Chain A
């Protein structure tokens, strides 16, 4: 059985049905000015980008990376890539050189689309990227050389029509979504065009938009929520949505909620926690407005935030749970299901979730274990790109092991407990401690380093780094700043530690593995427990 290309389902089909001129997305720029976009706008722009990629000999299953802040051209680029049946990979524009190198070298990306101010980051690592054929820059009018090209100029030289096969095998690769692991480099979860069936089904079942709703998903498209439910789901279901091109800003966000009469809002617990710190009077403008419900994803929505959100906005707040690997919402609260504050909710239709022990045997109700899913849903990742072994480790027979710990109550609701590995969920971003440690060890003054995540009321988890200094190095604010800036620019701003603590020695076992639980205990002033394996 064949299905439609995601680009056809989201754009082309509506242009064929004479809905091309329907305003479908209201783009709110950083300065709060607005531009309205129709299906035809995205169809035409993505056609040109597909033609540019064709002229650059980009073919089926080549990787094309988008390294842009959220923007309308990011959306057009994504669909242009899919029309070529190439594989799209959207990366956060905040990534530093080391993080970029890890992702671009793993994906063997052929083309990278970015903006002029970010080009320097790519040029700094260009020698280590032999597969990269060209950088397409969205905001220059002339090519810089044979490698750094003006996308505008190239788009001006091609047709605005692009013929592509609308139907394809559902297993055709569509996009890569990078996620951090507790050990080693980040992994690219590969998704297929068939994923759109689950994205649409879950959008209808959980988000439940009516024809007159105005929907706002605040997630960056580099985060899978922003791609699946910020772009694919609303476009493919003709849902009127808005997007904001700026970063978090409480005043801007509240103004948008009010002025745009947002009715359904999909955001993250960290954003709600940041809003919670604002003066209560600011919320008067949105308390009586059109907002009907809020959805939240990325970290657990603790009851305190749930109750604050419900009181402040006067509407229900629905938490849901899923991952880059799952491609669509797996467990959720939604209208029609009584909310238990703090709970993840229940699996959506077609999803089988179980709590298992370490031997992958079912755990009794109420007892904590590994949150697992029965494999086979359509938006499930198909591999970790070029890391088949890591993919195989995520499965036990037909069971996908999510890496999260949870329990199920007597009513069938799931409750998140923590990660089962060392990955740090900070402000909704997964940060691998290995990435931060590697960056720290690149600094001459750092002899050894270890990174942990500890509870934080704002970020869910905050990053704490422990460093060992050689004898002749003195720790001061200048060195601390050097470490912070280095991590921020080499890995990502979200990976910057909240605290850096100097210690004499990093606790490791006899095979050299960092004993993070000992560091966590030391940080929290608790008993580190059994340290018999410590070297």
Chain B
């Protein structure tokens, strides 16, 4: 399963919405329940799903889903 597919699963679980389809430019403005509080849930869920850890300064730094995916990818490469 690719990063986008897996990340889509995480988003759908966190926001309880099977209709979510991720795209690079997607931001919190495009997902109803994505606010600063549910963002914490999202970050924990991504860490668990991908077995990675975000640094504190990374958690609020993603401008959109594309940047988030890029960060996940970089962490997975380092892990390998």
Q: Give me the interface of A with B, judged by CB distance under 8 Å.
A: 30-31, 69, 93-94, 96, 115, 117-118, 120, 246-248, 477-478, 480-481, 484-485, 488-489, 493-494, 496
Please tell me if the beta carbons of B48 and A493 are within 8 angstroms of each other in the complex: no
CB distance from A74 to the nearest CB of B (A): 14
CA distance A478 to B40 in the complex (A): 14
By a CB distance below 8 angstroms, the chain A residues around B40 are 484, 496
Please tell me if the beta carbons of A488 and B17 are within 8 angstroms of each other in the complex: no
8 Å CB contact of B17 from A30, A93, A117, A481? A117
Please tell me if the beta carbons of B36 and A248 are within 8 angstroms of each other in the complex: yes
Does B16 touch A at the CB level, under 8 Å?
yes
CB distance from A332 to the nearest CB of B (A): 28
17 pairs, A vs B, C-beta closer than 8 Å? A117-B19, A117-B32, A120-B17, A246-B29, A247-B28, A247-B36, A477-B44, A480-B44, A481-B44, A481-B45, A481-B48, A484-B40, A484-B41, A485-B13, A488-B38, A493-B38, A496-B37
Q: Give me the interface of B with A, judged by CB distance under 8 Å.
A: 13-19, 28-29, 32-33, 35-38, 40-41, 44-45, 47-48
By a CB distance below 8 angstroms, the chain A residues around B29 are 30-31, 246-247
CB distance from A453 to the nearest CB of B (A): 15
Please tell me if the beta carbons of B32 and A489 are within 8 angstroms of each other in the complex: no
Can you name the residue of chain B whose Cβ is closest to the Cβ of A426?
Answer: B37
Chief secondary structure at chain B's binding surface: helix
Please tell me if the beta carbons of B33 and A493 are within 8 angstroms of each other in the complex: yes
CB distance from A397 to the nearest CB of B (A): 41
Can you name the residue of chain B whose Cβ is closest to the Cβ of A477?
Answer: B48
CB distance from A68 to the nearest CB of B (A): 10
CB distance from A139 to the nearest CB of B (A): 12
By a CB distance below 8 angstroms, the chain B residues around A96 are 16
8 Å CB contact of B33 from A30, A115, A481, A488? A488
Please tell me if the beta carbons of B37 and A488 are within 8 angstroms of each other in the complex: yes
CA distance A93 to B16 in the complex (A): 14
CA distance A493 to B18 in the complex (A): 18
